[in-house]
């Protein structure tokens, strides 16, 4: 009985997401055979979505079911969002004197056309090699020897059921072409076990960065085998930053690069963010750049005097207008922001989670060029 509320919620949310698009595209516009055929299609989708999500992300871990469920979820979110906007547009048409059934059919045609175009665009954006975004970031206390240091960030690659080995290889080619001094992966490396996903991750071992390659865990590592991924990244030459730091030197000047676990890690013994432990032994006065997967970890960074926190997690919302919901949990959705004396850079992510869609939230490979303040 204790699982009944969860099961009810698991079934109620898809019902709400399906209901509005059904009414917009079928219920308000058709009758007879078309009505029943459309209703049957939506009912089949409603049954398929929770079933495929459970088979794909539950104990069975079926890659085929995961791809079907994730894709259906993304398409449904686009349809729901634009059906909501279409409903608002319908009120405007009513005020303008356009009567039903013409009004409802205009709305349905518009919602269907826009949704189809955005799904096609979203798939292209999700599967393409990310654009490079370059920013200069002034760092207080940064010595002249480190001025111009190039820190290349990838994050939220989410290697999963959809095999993206070639995409992974091309991302590495782009990263190396940017000639990073430091390479960072800010978490959510993969969804699934090391045994299943490591072929997609292994190309990261070819990233070249003379001052080091650093990796932290995201929340999704803790949905699976976090320690396994930490060990695997170490085996291909990346240094996991498990609540620890390294002091990097160039031109006689020093920079502390630190990393902390994702907050989700508290459920695993020996894991969970511990910034004071990460900075134990760090030389006072040396600027600190911190890898912390979630932007909401900024409060601890400000208290610790961190100069720059680098995060991911948000995906920039991934599928518009989901960023409004992300903003309820996180202080920032994307970009460079200032919080007291600490700066925060939030990447929109390099890959995607779940639905292979990115709508108005393009992925990125980020080059942060550190400058003396």
**What pLDDT sits at residue 117?**
98
pLDDT in tens, 220-234: 999 989 999 999 999
Residue for token digits 């900024």? 298
pLDDT in tens, 122-136: 999 999 999 999 999
pLDDT category at 10 given cuts 50, 70, 90 is: confident
DSSP string, 234-277: HHTT-EE-SSEEEEEEETTEEEEEEE---GGGGGSTT-S--HHH
Could you tell me the maximum CA-CA distance found in the chain, to the nearest angstrom?
79
Query: Other CB atoms closer than 10 Å to residue 63's CB: what's the count?
Result: 15
The pLDDT of residue 55: 95
Dump pLDDT digits (tens) for 32-77. Answer: 999 999 999 999 999 999 999 999 998 889 999 999 999 999 999 9
In sequence order, the 6+-apart residues with CB closer than 8 A to the CB of 143 are 251, 252, 253, 254, 372
User: How sure is the predictor about 157, in pLDDT bands with cuts at 50, 70 and 90?
Assistant: very high
CA distances to 186, 212, 288, 311, 319 from 291, rounded to whole Å, are 6, 14, 10, 6, 25
Rounded mean pLDDT, 80-90: 97
12, pLDDT greater than 90? no
Question: Are 146 and 177 a contacting pair, CB within 8 Å?
Answer: no
* Distance between CA atoms of residues 226 and 175, nearest Å: 25
Q: What is the mean pLDDT of the chain?
A: 95
Is the pLDDT confidence value at 310 over 90? yes
Of 6-10, 99-103, 181-185, 313-317, the poorest mean pLDDT is in: 6-10
Question: What Rg, from alpha-carbon coordinates, does the chain have?
Answer: 23
**Whether residue 2 has pLDDT greater than 80:** no
Tokens of 361: 């939230």
Report the C-alpha gap between 305 and 342 in whole angstroms.
Answer: 7
Tell me the whole-structure pTM to 2 decimals. 0.93
Q: Is the pLDDT score of 3 beyond 80? A: no
Q: Specify the 3-state DSSP secondary structure of 123.
A: helix
**Residue 86: both structure tokens together:** 């279409």
pLDDT more than 70, % of the chain:
99
pLDDT score for 1:
66
Work out the angle at residue 86's Cα, subtended by the Cα atoms of residues 81 and 90, and round it to the nearest 5 degrees.
155
What's the pLDDT score for residue 173?
98
């Amino acid at each position: 009985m204790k699982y009944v509320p969860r099961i009810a919620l698991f079934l109620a949310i898809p019902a709400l997401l399906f209901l509005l698009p059904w009414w917009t595209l079928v219920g308000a516009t058709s009758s007879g055979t078309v009505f029943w055929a459309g209703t049957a299609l939506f009912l089949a989708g409603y049954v398929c979505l929770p079933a495929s999500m459970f088979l794909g992300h539950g104990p069975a871990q079926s890659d085929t079911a995961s791809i079907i469920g994730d894709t259906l979820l993304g398409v449904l979110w686009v349809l729901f969002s634009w059906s909501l906007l279409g409903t608002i547009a319908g009120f405007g048409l009513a005020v303008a004197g356009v009567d039903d059934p013409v009004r409802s059919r205009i709305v349905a045609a518009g919602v269907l056309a826009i949704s189809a175009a955005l799904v096609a665009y979203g798939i292209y954006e999700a599967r393409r090699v990310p654009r490079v975004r370059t920013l200069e970031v002034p760092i207080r206390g940064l010595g002249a020897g480190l001025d111009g240091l190039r820190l290349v960030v990838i994050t939220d690659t989410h290697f999963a059921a959809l095999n993206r080995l070639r995409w992974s290889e091309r991302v590495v080619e782009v990263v190396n072409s940017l000639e990073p001094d430091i390479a960072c992966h800010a978490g959510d490396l993969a969804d699934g076990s090391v045994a299943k996903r490591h072929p997609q991750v292994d190309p990261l071992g070819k990233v070249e960065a003379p001052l080091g390659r650093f990796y932290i865990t995201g929340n999704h590592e803790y949905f699976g085998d976090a320690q396994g991924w930490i060990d695997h990244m170490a085996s291909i030459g990346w240094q996991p930053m498990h609540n620890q730091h390294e002091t990097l030197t160039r031109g006689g000047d020093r920079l502390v690069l630190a990393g902390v676990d994702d907050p989700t890690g508290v459920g695993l013994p020996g894991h969970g963010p511990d910034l004071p432990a990460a900075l134990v032994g760090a030389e006072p006065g040396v600027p600190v750049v911190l890898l912390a997967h979630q932007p909401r970890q900024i409060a601890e960074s400000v208290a610790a005097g961190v100069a720059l926190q680098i995060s991911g997690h948000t995906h920039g919302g991934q599928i518009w207008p989901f960023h409004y919901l992300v903003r309820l949990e996180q202080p920032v959705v994307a970009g460079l922001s200032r919080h007291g004396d600490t700066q925060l850079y939030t990447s929109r992510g390099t890959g995607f989670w779940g639905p292979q869609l990115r709508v108005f939230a393009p992925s990125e490979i980020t080059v942060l060029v550190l400058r003396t303040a």
